[in-house]
Structure 1
Amino acid sequence: MTRGSIEIRENITSTFDLCEISTGLRDHLGLSKNIHALKISCGMHTVSCPIVFIDEEDLSLSLTTSMFEELHLPHHTLSLQGQLVNQKHLKLGPIIGLLTEVKGKDHNVHFGSIHEFCRELATFCYNNGCFFYIFSFSSYNKEKMLGYCFFQDKWVKTTVPYPDVVHNRIHSRKLEKSKTFLELTTDLIENKIPYFNDRFLNKWEVHQILSANEHLLPFLPESELLESKSILKNMLFKKKDLFIKPINGSQGKRIFRVKQIDENQYHLDFTTFSGDINNEYQSFEELFKTLYPRVKKEGFLLQETIQLKSYNNRTLDFRFLCHKKDRHQWKVTSAVARVSADQQFVANLARGGEIHKTKELLQELFGEKEALHLRKLLAELSIEIVEVICIQAGGEFGEFGIDLALDEDGHPWIIEVNTKPSKSEDDLKTGKVRPSAKSIINYCQFLYDQK
């Protein structure tokens, strides 16, 4: 099977369906000079037509307007890879769809926190012979897909081919558990369309998976599911300092930190909660009375507070972004250090944190030689984590954001695992297509090739 990147043009002057193929493309693909007809497929759409060879050196393919419509392609020149399945069948692709929430309409369409990242994905796809578009639940239709393509520096809603691969970037856990999502993913499975990341993983699920692996236990803070008042009281008495985190939380939202100062004194800190909340309490009952209305409706995790290495008296952690290369291999694509805003106990950018270069910050804190060792240790631990989760969580995953921290002795601790990591925290902005964008499309390409 041979692949080449083809310029696909629309022939608007032809009065009947005829495919014009350059001699350069014919020779590149290894097409016989005696072939007179060809089946062309794109996504799950196909068209059969007579062909003629045009004496041109470039790799080009001209299709009529009706053929563009049968293949569900937008009406402008495209650059797509071509795979010659056999001497009578040319496959165009890959067709990559990104599923997310779409806000606004027409020229004011927006894809939320991943808007700029989507542009990078589209740019990289355009330069590498992939067809990329954004779609939502409302635009999904097996018979006639609608999607947003990046064309002439803007997002344009148009008819698009059914995807070969789907990247799931739904941000809402509620939407991901909806009947609509189940119906869509059932369609993808029935049509043998791979999609990733499979789903959100909550903090308790991740903790259970990782804690079942003995070699990872030394890196895990002790954690419990907040199922009763007595569990909180007993763990607080034992540890004196706890985080209380929503198991389905993200971006450092709705996190409590509670300290038992002495037998009848408690201190409470928090990130984002409405209403008046006191910081000091004179009894556990008083403290719990404040906490209970805010934790009763959803699952929360109790996690011991580790005394971590700080930077300029601010909370410090590290985000390691990992991407899958093929069926079994993972790589660290980028790593950044995150330093919290003043008076904040989480380092997330959403809470005012700052990004620093991992190498430089580690060298400043631990010295050059130890920094090299720690960077390698954190990277290896990140790969260990994603490999374990992929084996035991089920589903297809191609990207993880791993949040790690170091204590005063340089010992690593696992803070959090993100299946849909923020795109504002994965790298220092360079104005170019980020490695994470390239890695996602490369994995889409791998999944496409496996089909």
Structure 2
Amino acid sequence: MKEKELFQIEIIEKYDKTVLYPPTLQLEKMENVAFGSFSSSASFYPHPNDKKTIAISRDLATQLRLPSRPGPLHIFSNNETLYLGPLIGIFTSGFTPFPIRPIGERSLFFSKLLSVEKSVGAFAFIFGEEHINWEDGTIQGLFYHENGWQSLQVPFPNVIYDRLPNRRSEKRAQISKIKERLQKEYLIPWYNPGFFNKMDVYEKLLQEESSAKYLPETHPFISFSLVERMLADYGHVFVKPINGSLGLGIHQIIYDRKNDAYYCRYREKSGSNRLRRYESLEGLFKHLFRNRNLTHMLVQQGIHSLRIDKRTVDFRIHTNKDKEGHWQVTAMAAKIAGLGSVTTHVNNGGTIKTLEEIFLTKEEKDEAVRKLTEACLTLSSSLERQIEGEIGEIGFDMGIDRDGKVWLYEANSKPGRSIFKHPQLKLFDLLTRKLSLAYSVYLTEKAITNPGDIFK
């Protein structure tokens, strides 16, 4: 059997409990066929027409709840059972009663994600806690086709891809119970299981020499004297929420030695960028952080990053695991801060550029790509070793300073996709979607043939 080869699946009417297979596969010793968590005994015969398809009799397809539409799938075998798949369940929350937009504003994202399933060789569906039927081991999954969304009852999936939208939904006790039950009772691999905590990521990466060199000095907020010392060392620091996202709540504090004054750049809730001057650090914190719990903040070394037209430039890099379980860099773009903005986020006025657009020469661009690629593959492998659970994708916010050194600003387990609005990054968009599903092929094969490697 060719590894990772795809086979067209078809449903036939004239046989009972029968699987016809391409003669080259030599599956005559198989006794069962499985789809997701369902399996059935079956008779296996070489396809009489020598077709390179796997034909399933109608009664078997009905018993296995195999969707009636044809599509290419992978096959896996173990213990006289032939597995068709993977069947991927994408777990999320925030469902609506509207059939055209069943997941609200995120319906477009999920429809684009599911649209790549045939090129991956998988069946993929969306579901939430309300769609699980524990009694008969099925899920009322939402599939997406050319004609729109369709609800189908399918077995429990081979693998679950976690796309919960925020930390609040992730922390709900009921969600935790569902995760634990599906993983422990049903032995279903669950990947991208949680949002990263910034301090936790920093402390774990610090343990590995290969990744520690990319880390700016970072501490949980413990005292004004810590901030004073870091300002003396670096000239400016960033104060961030430990569990923040989208650049919200980030403050840049700058010390002006000449005038012995402190400046803070931040974004107000109204959306306006502000730069304020203070005579003392205590006065700055008393004014700007009076309603915040500083134990939930961290202080990070300021980096003198590359700048274009006096605006900070950083880089968003996506890494994904492929169907072989290997890390790949799948997207890379530059982000230029908006005028007066503390971050490069698009919602703060930032601009997305390709690397070709910001570097003057091909040599400069190629060198930046090489450094960023090496750093992000190293960091991905380190995070995989250090963080519990299966990680399939990471979004990195990276910087390059004036001396050409690469720095990690943040790592995100559920990266945003704003960079793909750039017309020249559409292929990166497609690749990241394909690989976010393709990793399930690797996990499915592992769970079938070597479950001990996943469920340790």
How many residues get paired?
A: 437
| Structure 2 residue ranges without an equivalent (≥5) | 448-456
Deviation at 1:141, TM superposition (A): 3.6
Cα distance in structure 2, aligned partners of 1:275 and 1:358:
28
**Compared with structure 1, are the counterparts of its residues 101 and 28 closer, same or farther at alpha carbon in structure 2 (3 Å cutoff)?**
farther
Deviations 1:2-24 (A, max 9, x none): 7651323375xx8xx824555xx
Per the alignment, residue 18 of structure 1 pairs with 16
| Structure 1 residue ranges without an equivalent (≥5) | none
- 2:164 aligns to what SS in structure 1? coil
Cα distance in structure 1, aligned partners of 2:168 and 2:104:
17
Cα distance in structure 2, aligned partners of 1:52 and 1:296:
67
Which residue, out of 382, 385, 390, partners 2:376? 382
**Compared with structure 1, are the counterparts of its residues 214 and 266 closer, same or farther at alpha carbon in structure 2 (3 Å cutoff)?**
same
Q: Does 1:107 align with 2:109?
A: no
Per the alignment, residue 444 of structure 1 pairs with 440
Deviation at 1:28, TM superposition (A): 4.6
Per the alignment, residue 452 of structure 2 pairs with none
Cα distance in structure 2, aligned partners of 1:253 and 1:448:
37
1:300-379 aligned within 5 A:
300-325=297-322, 329-362=326-359, 364=360, 367-379=361-373
Q: Using the TM superposition, name which of 2-11 and 118-127 deviates more.
A: 2-11
For the Cα contact (< 8 Å) 1:117–1:437, is it kept in 2?
A: no
Per the alignment, residue 188 of structure 1 pairs with 182
Q: Does 1:250 align with 2:265?
A: no
TM-score w.r.t. the length of structure 2 is 0.84
**Compared with structure 1, are the counterparts of its residues 433 and 231 closer, same or farther at alpha carbon in structure 2 (3 Å cutoff)?**
closer
Which residue, out of 400, 405, 409, partners 1:406? 400
- 1:149 aligns to what SS in structure 2? strand
- 1:318 aligns to what SS in structure 2? strand
1:13-412 aligned within 5 A:
18-19=16-17, 21-22=19-20, 25-32=21-28, 39-49=32-42, 55-56=48-49, 58=51, 59-64=53-58, 67-83=60-76, 85=78, 89-111=81-103, 115-142=107-134, 143-190=137-184, 191-236=186-231, 239-261=234-256, 265-273=261-269, 279-296=276-293, 299-325=296-322, 329-362=326-359, 364=360, 367-412=361-406
Query: One-letter code of the match for 2:9?
Result: E
Query: One-letter code of the match for 1:314?
Result: R
Deviation at 1:433, TM superposition (A): 6.5
- RMSD over equivalenced CA pairs, Å: 3.2
Cα distance in structure 1, aligned partners of 2:326 and 2:77:
28
For the Cα contact (< 8 Å) 1:125–1:131, is it kept in 2?
A: yes
Deviation at 1:185, TM superposition (A): 2.2
Cα distance in structure 2, aligned partners of 1:50 and 1:389:
45
**Compared with structure 1, are the counterparts of its residues 112 and 391 closer, same or farther at alpha carbon in structure 2 (3 Å cutoff)?**
farther
For the Cα contact (< 8 Å) 2:205–2:386, is it kept in 1?
A: no
Deviations 1:329-350 (A, max 9, x none): 4221221111222322311223
- 1:279 aligns to what SS in structure 2? strand
- 1:219 aligns to what SS in structure 2? coil
Query: One-letter code of the match for 1:211?
Result: L
- 2:418 aligns to what SS in structure 1? coil
Deviation at 1:307, TM superposition (A): 1.6
